[in-house]
Amino acid sequence: MTRQSLTPADALLIGRLYLHARGGGRYRPFLGIRVWCPYCHDTHQHSWIDPPFKSNTVDHRAAHCHDHVTRKGMKLQSPLREGGGYFIGLDPSAKAENAKVIREFAEAFTRWEEREAMQARRLVTAANN
């Protein structure tokens, strides 16, 4: 799905990619996206799709918004939670930063694949001995 397919009623939060790589390469790395929410005034983190993808790609997510209590004690709920979530997409102003994260992801993913292949070879060798 792309930005062009959204309707004016669709909420779109834009953000920047980050690389989620943990365990020193033992676990599969993945891309995440951090989006700023204008309703609950917080940053929400979501997983993002693996490359290749277009820069105008959007994806639907459940809202991570939390309720707020105003200074006057009124409890406010985000319309995004009540409305079935929102779409997320890449921030066009962060094109260079997102491209760098995609390169880092590709390198980390290649290292992870190589580690997995080496482990598989070791298991086969051990089973054959």
> What is the mean pLDDT, run by run of 10 residues, along the chain of 129 residues?
94 96 86 92 91 92 80 76 89 97 95 92 87
Q: What is the pLDDT of residue 50?
A: 85
The whole-number pLDDT of residue 110 equals 94
Residue 111 to residues 3, 55, 89, 116, 126, Cα–Cα distance (Å): 33, 25, 27, 9, 23
Residue 87 pLDDT: 96
- Which ranges of 35-94 would DSSP assign to H, the alpha helix? 79-82
Domain of 68 in residue numbering reads as 3-128
Tell me if residue 127 falls in helix, strand or coil: helix
Q: Which residue has the tokens 């200074």?
A: 71
Say what the pLDDT of residue 26 is. Answer: 83
Q: Quote the pLDDT of residue 6.
A: 96
- Locate tokens 């365990």: which residue? 23
Pairing of strands 12-20, 86-90: parallel
State residue 70's pLDDT score.
Answer: 65
Domain count, the chain: 1
Tokens of 73: 């004690």
